[in-house]
Amino acid sequence: MKTRITELLEIKYPIIQGGMAWVAEHNLASAVSEAGGLGLIGAGGAPAEFIREQIQKVKEATDKPFGVNLMLMNPEADDIARIIVEEGVKVVTTGAGNPGKYMAMWKEAGVKVIPVVASVAMAKMMERGGADAVVAEGMESGGHIGSATTMTLVPQVVDAVTIPVIAAGGIADGRGFAASIMLGAEAVQMGTRFVVAKESIVHENYKKKVIGAKDIDSEVTGTSHGHPVRQIRNNMTREYVKLEKEGAPFEELEKLTLGALRKAVVEGDTVNGTLMAGQIAGLVKKEQTCAEMIQEIMAEAEKLLNR
Protein backbone atom coordinates (compact mmCIF):
# COMPACT_ATOMS: atom_id res chain seq x y z
CA MET A 1 0.00 0.00 0.00
CA LYS A 2 1.40 3.35 -1.08
CA THR A 3 0.49 6.65 0.55
CA ARG A 4 2.25 9.99 0.90
CA ILE A 5 3.58 8.70 4.23
CA THR A 6 5.18 5.54 2.80
CA GLU A 7 6.77 7.76 0.12
CA LEU A 8 7.89 10.45 2.58
CA LEU A 9 9.40 8.01 5.07
CA GLU A 10 10.52 5.38 2.51
CA ILE A 11 8.80 2.56 4.39
CA LYS A 12 6.89 -0.45 3.05
CA TYR A 13 3.79 -0.30 5.27
CA PRO A 14 2.08 2.85 6.61
CA ILE A 15 2.37 1.72 10.22
CA ILE A 16 4.30 3.75 12.78
CA GLN A 17 5.14 2.52 16.25
CA GLY A 18 4.30 4.92 19.07
CA GLY A 19 7.24 6.63 20.79
CA MET A 20 6.38 5.25 24.22
CA ALA A 21 8.58 6.31 27.15
CA TRP A 22 10.61 3.37 28.57
CA VAL A 23 8.90 0.95 26.15
CA ALA A 24 10.06 2.21 22.75
CA GLU A 25 13.75 1.30 23.05
CA HIS A 26 16.13 -0.04 20.42
CA ASN A 27 14.91 -3.65 20.33
CA LEU A 28 11.31 -2.68 19.60
CA ALA A 29 12.19 0.15 17.21
CA SER A 30 14.51 -1.99 15.09
CA ALA A 31 11.99 -4.87 15.00
CA VAL A 32 9.21 -2.59 13.71
CA SER A 33 11.49 -1.00 11.11
CA GLU A 34 12.80 -4.41 9.98
CA ALA A 35 9.16 -5.53 9.59
CA GLY A 36 8.52 -2.66 7.16
CA GLY A 37 6.92 -0.11 9.47
CA LEU A 38 8.58 2.86 11.12
CA GLY A 39 10.14 2.05 14.49
CA LEU A 40 10.65 4.88 16.96
CA ILE A 41 12.89 5.35 19.96
CA GLY A 42 10.84 7.09 22.64
CA ALA A 43 12.96 9.65 24.45
CA GLY A 44 10.42 10.02 27.27
CA GLY A 45 12.29 11.57 30.20
CA ALA A 46 15.59 9.81 29.43
CA PRO A 47 19.02 11.51 29.43
CA ALA A 48 20.31 12.72 26.07
CA GLU A 49 23.37 10.46 25.93
CA PHE A 50 21.19 7.40 26.60
CA ILE A 51 19.14 8.35 23.52
CA ARG A 52 22.32 8.65 21.46
CA GLU A 53 23.25 5.08 22.45
CA GLN A 54 19.76 3.85 21.58
CA ILE A 55 20.01 5.48 18.15
CA GLN A 56 23.38 3.83 17.53
CA LYS A 57 21.99 0.42 18.52
CA VAL A 58 19.11 0.72 16.05
CA LYS A 59 21.57 1.71 13.31
CA GLU A 60 23.57 -1.45 14.04
CA ALA A 61 20.45 -3.64 13.93
CA THR A 62 18.79 -2.34 10.75
CA ASP A 63 19.51 -0.25 7.70
CA LYS A 64 15.81 0.57 7.34
CA PRO A 65 14.44 4.02 8.29
CA PHE A 66 13.58 4.66 11.92
CA GLY A 67 12.83 7.73 14.01
CA VAL A 68 13.01 9.29 17.44
CA ASN A 69 10.06 10.61 19.44
CA LEU A 70 11.05 13.67 21.45
CA MET A 71 8.82 14.15 24.48
CA LEU A 72 9.07 17.92 24.80
CA MET A 73 8.83 18.03 28.59
CA ASN A 74 12.15 16.15 28.78
CA PRO A 75 14.59 18.44 30.65
CA GLU A 76 17.30 17.53 28.10
CA ALA A 77 15.07 18.12 25.07
CA ASP A 78 17.48 20.70 23.59
CA ASP A 79 20.36 18.21 23.66
CA ILE A 80 18.25 15.37 22.25
CA ALA A 81 17.03 17.65 19.44
CA ARG A 82 20.68 18.28 18.51
CA ILE A 83 21.68 14.60 18.84
CA ILE A 84 18.92 13.69 16.38
CA VAL A 85 20.69 15.88 13.81
CA GLU A 86 24.21 14.73 14.72
CA GLU A 87 23.27 11.07 14.41
CA GLY A 88 21.56 11.58 11.06
CA VAL A 89 18.14 10.36 12.24
CA LYS A 90 15.71 10.68 9.31
CA VAL A 91 12.43 11.17 11.16
CA VAL A 92 11.40 12.88 14.37
CA THR A 93 7.99 12.86 16.00
CA THR A 94 7.26 15.09 19.00
CA GLY A 95 4.80 14.85 21.86
CA ALA A 96 3.41 16.76 24.81
CA GLY A 97 4.15 20.23 23.50
CA ASN A 98 5.08 22.58 20.67
CA PRO A 99 8.33 21.69 18.83
CA GLY A 100 8.46 25.10 17.08
CA LYS A 101 11.88 26.09 18.44
CA TYR A 102 13.59 23.04 16.86
CA MET A 103 11.82 23.14 13.52
CA ALA A 104 14.34 25.30 11.59
CA MET A 105 17.33 23.22 12.78
CA TRP A 106 15.66 19.93 11.86
CA LYS A 107 14.38 21.13 8.49
CA GLU A 108 17.82 22.46 7.57
CA ALA A 109 19.33 19.06 8.38
CA GLY A 110 16.72 17.30 6.21
CA VAL A 111 15.02 15.58 9.16
CA LYS A 112 11.35 14.80 8.47
CA VAL A 113 9.33 16.42 11.27
CA ILE A 114 6.04 14.90 12.40
CA PRO A 115 4.52 16.53 15.50
CA VAL A 116 1.84 14.66 17.43
CA VAL A 117 -1.17 16.94 17.81
CA ALA A 118 -4.42 16.64 19.73
CA SER A 119 -6.30 19.54 18.08
CA VAL A 120 -6.98 21.16 14.70
CA ALA A 121 -5.41 24.44 15.87
CA MET A 122 -2.14 22.73 16.74
CA ALA A 123 -2.15 20.83 13.43
CA LYS A 124 -2.54 24.09 11.47
CA MET A 125 0.20 25.76 13.50
CA MET A 126 2.56 22.84 12.84
CA GLU A 127 1.82 22.91 9.11
CA ARG A 128 2.57 26.65 9.01
CA GLY A 129 5.81 25.95 10.88
CA GLY A 130 6.98 23.51 8.21
CA ALA A 131 5.92 20.08 9.54
CA ASP A 132 6.07 17.29 6.93
CA ALA A 133 3.05 15.48 8.39
CA VAL A 134 1.16 15.31 11.68
CA VAL A 135 -0.01 12.50 13.92
CA ALA A 136 -3.59 13.26 14.99
CA GLU A 137 -3.87 11.48 18.32
CA GLY A 138 -7.24 10.85 19.94
CA MET A 139 -7.93 10.49 23.65
CA GLU A 140 -8.32 6.72 23.29
CA SER A 141 -4.52 6.60 23.39
CA GLY A 142 -2.42 5.56 26.32
CA GLY A 143 -0.20 8.06 28.11
CA HIS A 144 -0.54 11.83 27.91
CA ILE A 145 -3.69 12.68 25.94
CA GLY A 146 -5.83 15.51 24.61
CA SER A 147 -9.61 15.65 24.75
CA ALA A 148 -10.88 14.86 21.22
CA THR A 149 -11.55 11.30 20.08
CA THR A 150 -9.76 9.78 17.10
CA MET A 151 -13.05 9.45 15.17
CA THR A 152 -13.72 13.19 15.44
CA LEU A 153 -10.16 14.55 15.38
CA VAL A 154 -8.73 12.75 12.34
CA PRO A 155 -11.23 13.92 9.67
CA GLN A 156 -11.20 17.47 11.05
CA VAL A 157 -7.40 17.61 10.92
CA VAL A 158 -7.46 16.05 7.42
CA ASP A 159 -9.77 18.85 6.26
CA ALA A 160 -7.70 21.57 7.93
CA VAL A 161 -4.23 20.78 6.55
CA THR A 162 -2.76 19.67 3.22
CA ILE A 163 0.17 17.70 4.68
CA PRO A 164 -0.48 13.98 5.26
CA VAL A 165 -2.16 12.92 8.51
CA ILE A 166 -1.36 9.83 10.58
CA ALA A 167 -4.17 8.53 12.80
CA ALA A 168 -3.44 7.44 16.37
CA GLY A 169 -5.50 6.39 19.36
CA GLY A 170 -7.62 3.25 19.52
CA ILE A 171 -6.06 1.47 16.54
CA ALA A 172 -4.75 -2.07 16.96
CA ASP A 173 -5.97 -4.18 14.04
CA GLY A 174 -6.88 -4.15 10.35
CA ARG A 175 -10.32 -2.73 11.06
CA GLY A 176 -8.87 0.27 12.87
CA PHE A 177 -6.34 0.69 10.10
CA ALA A 178 -9.03 0.59 7.37
CA ALA A 179 -11.27 2.96 9.33
CA SER A 180 -8.38 5.41 9.65
CA ILE A 181 -7.87 5.35 5.88
CA MET A 182 -11.61 6.03 5.46
CA LEU A 183 -11.23 9.08 7.72
CA GLY A 184 -8.55 10.40 5.39
CA ALA A 185 -5.42 9.30 7.25
CA GLU A 186 -2.46 8.05 5.21
CA ALA A 187 -0.91 5.93 7.96
CA VAL A 188 -1.59 4.83 11.51
CA GLN A 189 0.46 5.01 14.68
CA MET A 190 -0.01 2.21 17.19
CA GLY A 191 1.37 1.92 20.70
CA THR A 192 -0.61 -0.48 22.85
CA ARG A 193 -0.39 -3.42 20.45
CA PHE A 194 3.39 -3.09 20.23
CA VAL A 195 3.70 -3.06 24.04
CA VAL A 196 3.05 -6.82 23.96
CA ALA A 197 5.30 -7.58 20.97
CA LYS A 198 7.76 -10.45 21.44
CA GLU A 199 10.59 -7.99 20.85
CA SER A 200 9.22 -5.55 23.45
CA ILE A 201 11.31 -5.50 26.66
CA VAL A 202 8.26 -4.61 28.77
CA HIS A 203 8.00 -6.81 31.88
CA GLU A 204 5.78 -9.91 31.47
CA ASN A 205 3.49 -8.72 34.29
CA TYR A 206 2.74 -5.51 32.36
CA LYS A 207 2.16 -7.42 29.12
CA LYS A 208 -0.27 -9.75 30.95
CA LYS A 209 -2.21 -6.72 32.23
CA VAL A 210 -2.56 -5.35 28.68
CA ILE A 211 -3.59 -8.75 27.30
CA GLY A 212 -6.07 -9.25 30.15
CA ALA A 213 -7.54 -5.73 29.97
CA LYS A 214 -11.18 -5.24 28.99
CA ASP A 215 -12.74 -2.29 27.13
CA ILE A 216 -13.27 -0.06 30.17
CA ASP A 217 -10.23 -0.98 32.25
CA SER A 218 -8.30 2.24 31.68
CA GLU A 219 -8.39 5.33 33.86
CA VAL A 220 -7.39 8.92 33.15
CA THR A 221 -5.42 10.55 35.94
CA GLY A 222 -4.15 14.12 36.10
CA THR A 223 -7.18 15.94 34.68
CA SER A 224 -7.19 18.23 37.75
CA HIS A 225 -3.81 19.72 36.83
CA GLY A 226 -4.08 19.71 33.03
CA HIS A 227 -1.89 16.68 32.27
CA PRO A 228 -4.31 13.82 31.66
CA VAL A 229 -2.62 10.43 31.39
CA ARG A 230 -4.42 7.21 30.37
CA GLN A 231 -3.33 3.96 31.96
CA ILE A 232 -4.76 0.66 33.13
CA ARG A 233 -6.63 1.01 36.43
CA ASN A 234 -4.81 -0.30 39.49
CA ASN A 235 -4.08 0.49 43.12
CA MET A 236 -2.07 3.57 42.14
CA THR A 237 -4.75 5.10 39.88
CA ARG A 238 -7.49 4.48 42.49
CA GLU A 239 -5.44 6.32 45.08
CA TYR A 240 -4.62 9.10 42.58
CA VAL A 241 -8.24 9.65 41.55
CA LYS A 242 -9.36 9.64 45.19
CA LEU A 243 -6.77 12.31 46.08
CA GLU A 244 -7.73 14.34 43.01
CA LYS A 245 -11.39 14.29 44.08
CA GLU A 246 -10.29 15.56 47.50
CA GLY A 247 -8.50 18.44 45.81
CA ALA A 248 -4.95 17.31 46.60
CA PRO A 249 -2.19 19.61 45.31
CA PHE A 250 -0.01 18.55 42.37
CA GLU A 251 3.03 17.99 44.61
CA GLU A 252 1.18 15.32 46.56
CA LEU A 253 -0.19 13.61 43.45
CA GLU A 254 3.24 13.63 41.84
CA LYS A 255 4.62 11.46 44.65
CA LEU A 256 2.42 8.61 43.40
CA THR A 257 3.65 8.74 39.80
CA LEU A 258 7.30 9.64 40.21
CA GLY A 259 9.28 6.75 38.72
CA ALA A 260 6.10 4.70 38.47
CA LEU A 261 6.36 4.04 34.71
CA ARG A 262 9.83 2.55 35.19
CA LYS A 263 8.46 0.50 38.09
CA ALA A 264 5.82 -1.00 35.78
CA VAL A 265 7.93 -1.49 32.65
CA VAL A 266 11.17 -2.66 34.26
CA GLU A 267 10.16 -4.18 37.59
CA GLY A 268 6.72 -5.43 36.59
CA ASP A 269 5.01 -3.66 39.49
CA THR A 270 1.39 -3.74 38.33
CA VAL A 271 0.02 -2.59 41.71
CA ASN A 272 1.79 0.74 42.18
CA GLY A 273 3.34 1.23 38.74
CA THR A 274 1.92 3.26 35.84
CA LEU A 275 0.55 0.83 33.25
CA MET A 276 0.15 3.22 30.32
CA ALA A 277 -2.09 1.68 27.64
CA GLY A 278 -4.88 2.84 25.35
CA GLN A 279 -8.56 1.96 25.39
CA ILE A 280 -7.92 -0.59 22.63
CA ALA A 281 -6.02 -2.83 25.10
CA GLY A 282 -9.24 -4.90 25.27
CA LEU A 283 -8.62 -5.95 21.67
CA VAL A 284 -4.99 -6.94 22.18
CA LYS A 285 -5.06 -10.61 22.98
CA LYS A 286 -1.66 -12.12 22.27
CA GLU A 287 2.07 -11.65 22.16
CA GLN A 288 3.37 -11.81 18.56
CA THR A 289 6.44 -10.62 16.74
CA CYS A 290 6.25 -7.14 15.21
CA ALA A 291 6.40 -8.73 11.75
CA GLU A 292 3.42 -11.00 12.55
CA MET A 293 1.42 -8.03 13.83
CA ILE A 294 2.15 -5.86 10.82
CA GLN A 295 1.47 -8.67 8.31
CA GLU A 296 -1.83 -9.53 10.01
CA ILE A 297 -3.00 -5.91 10.15
CA MET A 298 -2.10 -5.21 6.52
CA ALA A 299 -3.76 -8.41 5.23
CA GLU A 300 -6.97 -7.67 7.13
CA ALA A 301 -7.00 -4.00 6.13
CA GLU A 302 -6.41 -4.72 2.45
CA LYS A 303 -9.29 -7.21 2.42
CA LEU A 304 -11.60 -4.64 4.02
CA LEU A 305 -10.48 -1.75 1.82
CA ASN A 306 -10.95 -3.81 -1.35
CA ARG A 307 -14.52 -4.76 -0.43
Q: How far is CA 76 from CA 48, 51, 220, in A?
A: 6, 10, 27
The rounded distance, in Å, linking the Cα atoms of 298 and 292 is: 10
CB of 307 vs ligand TUI, minimal distance in Å: 32
Closer to ligand TUI by Cβ: residue 267 or 302:
267
- Give 60 or 254: the residue with its C-beta nearer to ligand TUI: 254
CB of 63 to ligand TUI, least distance (A): 28
**Residue 223 or 296: which CB sits closer to ligand TUI?**
223
The piece of 110-118, 156-164, 197-205, 294-302 that touches ligand TUI (CB under 6 A) is: 110-118
Give the CB-nearest residue to ligand TUI.
143
Min dist CB 143 to ligand TUI, Å, is 2
By CB under 6 A, is residue 122 in contact with ligand TUI?
Answer: yes
Task: Identify residues 228-287 at the interface with ligand TUI (CB under 6 A).
Answer: 229
Q: Interacting stretch for ligand TUI, rule CB under 6 A, among 53-61, 95-103, 281-289, 290-298?
A: 95-103
**Contact set for ligand TUI, span 30-89 (CB under 6 A):** 44, 71
Q: Is 169 in the site for ligand TUI (CB under 6 A)?
A: no
The one among 16, 70, 96, 280 contacting ligand TUI by CB under 6 A: 96
- When asked if residue 118 is in the footprint of ligand TUI (CB under 6 A), the reply is yes
Residue 15 interacts with ligand TUI (CB under 6 A): yes or no:
no
Q: What is the dihedral of CA 88, 93, 98, 100, to 10 degrees?
A: 30
Which residue stretch of 57-65, 137-145, 203-211, 283-291 sits at the interface with ligand TUI (rule: CB under 6 A)? 137-145
Provide, rounded to whole angstroms, the least separation between the CB of residue 61 and ligand TUI.
Answer: 24
| Window contacting ligand TUI (CB under 6 A); options: 1-9, 142-150, 159-167, 282-290 | 142-150
Binding mask 195-234 toward ligand TUI (x if CB under 6 A, else -) reads --------------------------------x-x-----
Other beta carbons within 10 Å of 238: 12
Among 46, 145, 161, 293, binds ligand TUI (CB under 6 A): 145
Maximal CA-CA distance, the chain: 53
Residue 190 makes contact with ligand TUI by CB under 6 A: no
Q: How far apart are CA 88 and CA 85, in angstroms?
A: 5
- Which residues here bind ligand TUI, judged by CB under 6 A? 21, 44, 71, 95-98, 116-118, 122, 137, 143-146, 227, 229
